Amino acid sequence: DDIAQGRAKSRACAVCHGPLGMGTAPDAPHLAAQPATYLSQQLRAFRSGERKHAVMNVIAKPLSDADIEQLSAWFASLQIEVRPPP
């Protein structure tokens, strides 16, 4: 299914965004639980160059529409909880 295939394809993402979508670099956002619509919009924008980022434009270039939908489904499937601030 989309989520399992997305997880399999997400290995390249994990370098900056972490294996469970929690970013490891100061300029890499957390992808865990982001809405699938938002994620696919951003991947399409990186693929077309409408949104600019040195790394993401290269990573997104070869992605097919199916890749984008599956990667988005995988990260959107993760659940996060916000701890109320102190």
Q: Interface with a second copy by CB under 8 A: which residues? A: 7, 20-23, 25-30, 32-38, 41, 50-52, 77-85
Nearer to a second copy, 11 or 27 (CB): 27
Closest separation in Å from C-beta 77 to a second copy = 7
CB 32 to a second copy: min, Å:
5
Instruction: For Cα atoms 79, 21, 42, give the angle at the middle one, nearest 5 degrees.
Output: 100
The nearer residue to a second copy, 13 or 32, going by C-beta atoms, is: 32
The alpha carbon of 14 is separated from its chain's Cα centroid by a whole number of angstroms, namely 9
Among residues 34 and 67, whose Cβ is nearest to a second copy?
Answer: 34
- Cα–Cα distance, 61 to 56 (Å, whole number): 8
Q: Could you tell me the sign of the dihedral formed by the alpha carbons of 12, 15, 17, 22, in that order?
A: positive
Q: How far is the CB of 50 from a second copy (least distance, A)?
A: 7
